[in-house]
């Protein structure tokens, strides 16, 4: 087999996974990253695989969608999970990480790998770059904030117009400025005595409705092309929730379920949860509080939250662009472009949503490239697996809308009469997770293992 070389554009979550997956299998990789030339507005550090908002890679519970996905990624040797586990910070059942250490570790491992050549460059034209670096295949993993020249190339050559919309980011507060006498540590559904990684700010009925009213009435950042603001349903701005209805937030990120009682033994009407940003616990992010409010209004309104009256904000929330393709129209199921079969896409740009989902698509695309290099046909991951379900989703959804991994994407299971009588929801989750695990194992031994020899 002649030596093949792969160009990976973007050393984010997906690109880092893809580069390492291939390099570990003795494929030469040219990894091109643009942030070392210029950071985009969401980036703060020059290192790879930066988590630009929350530091959470979500649940590790094996019976959750994210848990299933993580098991599959682990089986494929995920660099993101290896480095995430190494630099984890406490977050209950979730895998949250110290973002700087995590990113530094990934950068070090990629840079030190003898099969990877790292190039600092804002890529513009993948075809030209493939020629320049003598590569046979390309994986474009430039994420939600793909820079403009490459975006123009993708639009002109691959996607046409339907290419972007907006998402939102949550604020972070300085822990020293919180009034802890009004807050308490507790993880959802755990006993109060166990303490917890989440810091909760309980609200009475009066406080909650006053807060929601302030949110709905506060000044928002205006966009020129306002009608283009389409948000992920799972990541709605808190102010948009307030506009949708006065109880919407109370049934979403502010739900008090599993967080009672509060410090005074009263049951809160609603709760704002804060999660550690780093191991030291010197900063906390407001969980689910991505927002379109102007900075000035954020400070005014978020200081109405009990315990945050004198809060100092390390950074405030904002809205941002998110570029992604209509995969169903433009890509094959191995994530290669229909027009340019030697060019693959990976990560959020394929139409999935979230750090872990994007990283998993890096593994998926790299696996398919490896098969191609070895002269094997592409194989679809079974839809019962988390990765298969994600790809199935982006390849079948008529009106593309980025999705994270969730049970709705996995085929349902039939319950026996006996199972129907118990806790149906839990039983279904357990059965779907068990099936996903078994199907993935079989698929892995039948096709992945042969490819990874």
Ligand X SMILES: Cc1cc2nc3c(=O)[nH]c(=O)nc-3n(C[C@H](O)[C@H](O)[C@H](O)COP(=O)(O)OP(=O)(O)OC[C@H]3O[C@@H](n4cnc5c(N)ncnc54)[C@H](O)[C@@H]3O)c2cc1C
Part of the chain binding ligand X (CB under 6 A), chosen from 68-76, 141-149, 155-163, 269-277? 141-149
Neighbours of 296 (CB within 10 A): 11
Q: How far apart are CA 309 and CA 301, in angstroms?
A: 10
- One of 6, 14, 274, 331 touching ligand X (CB under 6 A): 14
By CB under 6 A, the count of residues binding ligand X is: 34
- One of 93, 122, 243, 342 touching ligand X (CB under 6 A): 122
Q: How far apart are CA 210 and CA 246, in angstroms?
A: 10
- One of 358, 385, 403, 433 touching ligand X (CB under 6 A): 358
Does residue 35 interact with ligand X by CB under 6 A?
Answer: yes
Does residue 315 interact with ligand X by CB under 6 A?
Answer: no
Neighbours of 260 (CB within 10 A): 15
Cβ proximity to ligand X, 156 vs 425, nearer residue = 156
Binding characters for ligand X, 366-405, by CB under 6 A (x = yes): ----------------------------------------
Does residue 159 interact with ligand X by CB under 6 A?
Answer: no
Shortest Å distance, C-beta 335 to ligand X: 12
Does residue 145 interact with ligand X by CB under 6 A?
Answer: yes
Do the Cβ atoms of 363 and 73 come closer than 8 Å?
yes
Does residue 84 interact with ligand X by CB under 6 A?
Answer: no
Name the CA dihedral angle for 80, 235, 66, 69, rounded to a multiple of 10 degrees.
-60
Shortest Å distance, C-beta 321 to ligand X: 7
Cβ proximity to ligand X, 335 vs 373, nearer residue = 335
Do the Cβ atoms of 8 and 30 come closer than 8 Å?
yes
* Segment 208 to 227, residues that bind ligand X, using CB under 6 A: none
Does residue 97 interact with ligand X by CB under 6 A?
Answer: no
Binding characters for ligand X, 166-205, by CB under 6 A (x = yes): -x-x------------------------------------
Query: Is the peptide bond preceding residue 261 cis, with omega within 30 degrees of 0?
Result: yes
Part of the chain binding ligand X (CB under 6 A), chosen from 137-145, 393-401, 415-423, 429-437? 137-145
Does residue 291 interact with ligand X by CB under 6 A?
Answer: no
Residue nearest to ligand X (CB): 12
Do the Cβ atoms of 198 and 96 come closer than 8 Å?
no
**Residue 164 phi, psi dihedral angles, 5° rounding:** -150, 155
Cβ proximity to ligand X, 38 vs 264, nearer residue = 38
Does residue 52 interact with ligand X by CB under 6 A?
Answer: yes
Q: How far apart are CA 68 and CA 73, in angstroms?
A: 9
Sign of CA dihedral 137, 143, 147, 153: positive
Cβ proximity to ligand X, 27 vs 169, nearer residue = 169
Q: How far apart are CA 283 and CA 211, in angstroms?
A: 23
Cβ proximity to ligand X, 143 vs 202, nearer residue = 143
Sign of CA dihedral 76, 79, 81, 86: positive
- One of 12, 171, 237, 268 touching ligand X (CB under 6 A): 12
Does residue 297 interact with ligand X by CB under 6 A?
Answer: no
Tokens, residue 55? 């530091």
- One of 64, 146, 201, 403 touching ligand X (CB under 6 A): 146
Local structure of 363: helix, strand or coil? helix
Does residue 105 interact with ligand X by CB under 6 A?
Answer: no
> Cα Rg for the chain, rounded, in angstroms?
22
Binding characters for ligand X, 316-335, by CB under 6 A (x = yes): ----x---------------
Q: How far apart are CA 351 and CA 70, in angstroms?
A: 19
Do the Cβ atoms of 409 and 392 come closer than 8 Å?
yes
Residue showing tokens 């060019």: 343
Q: How far apart are CA 93 and CA 348, in angstroms?
A: 24
Q: Using CB atoms within 10 A of its CB, is residue 183 exposed (0-12), middle (13-18) or buried (19+)?
A: buried
Q: Which residues bind ligand X (CB under 6 A)?
A: 9-15, 32-35, 42, 52-54, 122-123, 141-147, 150, 167, 169, 320, 347-349, 354-355, 358
């Amino acid at each position: 087999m002649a030596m093949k070389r792969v160009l990976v554009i973007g050393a984010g979550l997906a690109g880092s996974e893809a580069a390492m997956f291939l390099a570990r299998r003795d494929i030469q990789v040219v990894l091109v990253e643009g942030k070392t030339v210029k950071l985009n507005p969401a980036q703060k550090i020059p290192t790879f695989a930066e988590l630009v908002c929350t530091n959470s890679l979500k649940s590790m519970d094996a019976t959750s969608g994210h848990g299933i996905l993580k098991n599959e990624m682990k089986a494929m040797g995920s660099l993101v999970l290896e480095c995430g586990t190494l630099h984890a910070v406490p977050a209950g059942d979730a895998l949250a990480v110290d973002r700087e250490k995590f990113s530094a570790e990934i950068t070090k491992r990629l840079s030190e790998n003898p099969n990877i050549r790292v190039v600092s460059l804002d890529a513009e034209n993948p075809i030209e770059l493939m020629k320049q670096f003598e590569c046979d295949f390309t994986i474009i993993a430039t994420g939600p904030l793909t820079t403009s020249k490459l975006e123009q190339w993708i639009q002109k050559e691959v996607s046409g117009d339907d290419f972007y919309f907006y998402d939102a980011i949550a604020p972070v507060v300085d822990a020293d400025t919180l009034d802890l006498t009004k807050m308490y540590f507790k993880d959802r559904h755990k006993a109060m005595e166990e303490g917890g990684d989440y810091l909760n700010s309980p609200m009475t009925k009066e406080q909650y409705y006053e807060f929601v009213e302030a949110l709905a009435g506060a000044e928002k950042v205006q966009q020129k092309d306002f009608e283009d603001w389409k948000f992920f349903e799972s990541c709605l701005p808190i102010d948009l929730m307030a506009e949708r209805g006065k109880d919407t937030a109370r049934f979403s990120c502010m739900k008090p379920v599993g967080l009672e009682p509060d410090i005074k033994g009263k049951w809160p009407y609603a709760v704002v949860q804060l999660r550690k940003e780093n191991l030291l616990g010197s900063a906390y992010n407001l969980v689910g509080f991505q927002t379109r409010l102007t900075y000035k209004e954020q400070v005014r309104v978020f200081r109405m939250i009990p315990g945050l009256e004198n809060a100092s904000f390390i950074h405030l929330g904002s809205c941002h662009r998110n570029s992604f393709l209509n995969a169903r129209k433009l890509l094959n199921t191995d994530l290669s472009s229909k027009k340019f079969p030697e060019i693959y896409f990976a990560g959020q740009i394929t139409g999935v949503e979230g750090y872990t989902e994007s990283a998993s698509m890096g593994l998926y695309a790299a696996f398919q490239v490896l098969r191609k290099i070895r002269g094997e046909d592409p194989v679809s991951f079974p839809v019962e697996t988390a990765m298969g379900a994600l790809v199935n989703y982006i390849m079948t959804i008529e009106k593309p809308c980025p999705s994270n991994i969730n049970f709705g994407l996995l085929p349902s299971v039939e319950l026996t009469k006996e199972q129907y009588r118990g806790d149906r929801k839990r039983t279904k989750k357990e059965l779907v997770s068990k099936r996903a695990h078994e199907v993935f194992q079989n698929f892995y031994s039948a096709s992945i293992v042969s490819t990874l020899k």
